Amino acid sequence: MVSLWRTATTALAAVALLVADPTAAHSLLHYPAPRGNLANFGTCGSGQGCKGPCDSPRSASNIGKPWFKPVTIQRGQELRVTWERNNHPGGFVRLAMVPIDQSDSWDAFNAHVVKHSCYEAHCGPDNPSDNTFGPGNGPGNAECWTTFTVPSTFADGATVTLQWMWYAGGVYYAQPAAGFGNYYNCADIIVQGGSPVDAGNTTVYAHPPFQGGDFANPNSNMCKYWSSNKYEDCTFGSRMPSPVSGDLLSQSLEPCARTGSMNGKPNGY
């Protein structure tokens, strides 16, 4: 029995590595470039024990280092944010932006959301008819993207932090019903110029836009997702994995849930 199970899991792992290696790069914010972290190759997964809100804390930001050239954005600009699909279908991306000195605070990011997008926005599997892991769930590293309007609340020269959160994504370790926990990245950016400063214009934070439409829902305002449309449901709380040598799956608390894929909007929309 035991050896049969080992054979089965080894075979599963071999297939799974093609689609979902829990130890290697899960989806990452690509542009603007994230802070990164040395501990986990830039990846920050709640199931790996990285609880956000950023991949690294404020104290690890490279902002101000002489060799670091931060992206500069303008108030009112439509900033294009990109990430790599990394062989994973579905889920939502939430963007939030706060002054860098609030970037260790989950409460601050939660109160300053600027956009919700589908994860598979403008991207999808390399081979749309590869249904090995479910319809449209095949491998593919295409670049995904969305845009948001840079709020007018930030003064010239302000250093701000963009939080990128991927949640409700799917096909954990080649198991079509299994969904991932949340992943987090942050980029530190300078605001300079653009529309006039209007510190009191908090309209966008009160009603951040949701833009649906993804590979599975090209003509409707929805996204394909797994587990839950509430990011709070896939944080794994304060739980941490207990890695066992030689057991890749033990390195993460994932999957979050085994719901199979659904289509819908983020909670509250």
Ligand X SMILES: *[C@@H]1O[C@H](CO)[C@@H](O)[C@H](O)[C@H]1NC(C)=O
Residues near ligand X (CB under 6 A) are 149, 151-152, 198, 201, 203-204
Q: Quote the CA–CA distance of 110 and 66 in Å, as a whole number.
A: 31
Q: Quote the CA–CA distance of 218 and 126 in Å, as a whole number.
A: 16
Q: Quote the CA–CA distance of 205 and 111 in Å, as a whole number.
A: 7
The residue with its CB nearest to ligand X is 201
Nearest approach, Cβ of 76 to ligand X (angstroms)?
Answer: 7
Q: Which of 8, 155 has the CB closer to ligand X?
A: 155
DSSP line for 5-48? HHHHHHHHHHHHHHH--TTS----EEESPP---TTTTT--BGGG
Q: Which of 78, 143 has the CB closer to ligand X?
A: 78
Nearest approach, Cβ of 195 to ligand X (angstroms)?
Answer: 8
Reported as type and span, the H/E element at residue 2 is: helix 2-19
Q: Which of 87, 161 has the CB closer to ligand X?
A: 161
- Secondary structure of 209-256 as H, E, C letters: CEECCCCCCCCCCCEEECCCCCHHHHCCCCCCCCCECCEHHHHCCCCC
DSSP 8-state code for residue 110: H
Nearest approach, Cβ of 208 to ligand X (angstroms)?
Answer: 10
Q: Which of 201, 228 has the CB closer to ligand X?
A: 201
Q: Which of 141, 211 has the CB closer to ligand X?
A: 211
Structural contact between residues 191 and 216, judged by C-beta atoms closer than 8 angstroms? no
DSSP-derived 3-state class of residue 107: helix
Q: Which of 82, 149 has the CB closer to ligand X?
A: 149
Structural contact between residues 61 and 100, judged by C-beta atoms closer than 8 angstroms? yes
Nearest approach, Cβ of 126 to ligand X (angstroms)?
Answer: 36
Nearest approach, Cβ of 2 to ligand X (angstroms)?
Answer: 59
Q: Which of 44, 204 has the CB closer to ligand X?
A: 204
Nearest approach, Cβ of 207 to ligand X (angstroms)?
Answer: 10
Buried b (16+ CB within 10 A) or exposed e, 203-212: ebbeebebbb
Q: Quote the CA–CA distance of 268 and 121 in Å, as a whole number.
A: 20
Q: Quote the CA–CA distance of 97 and 111 in Å, as a whole number.
A: 9
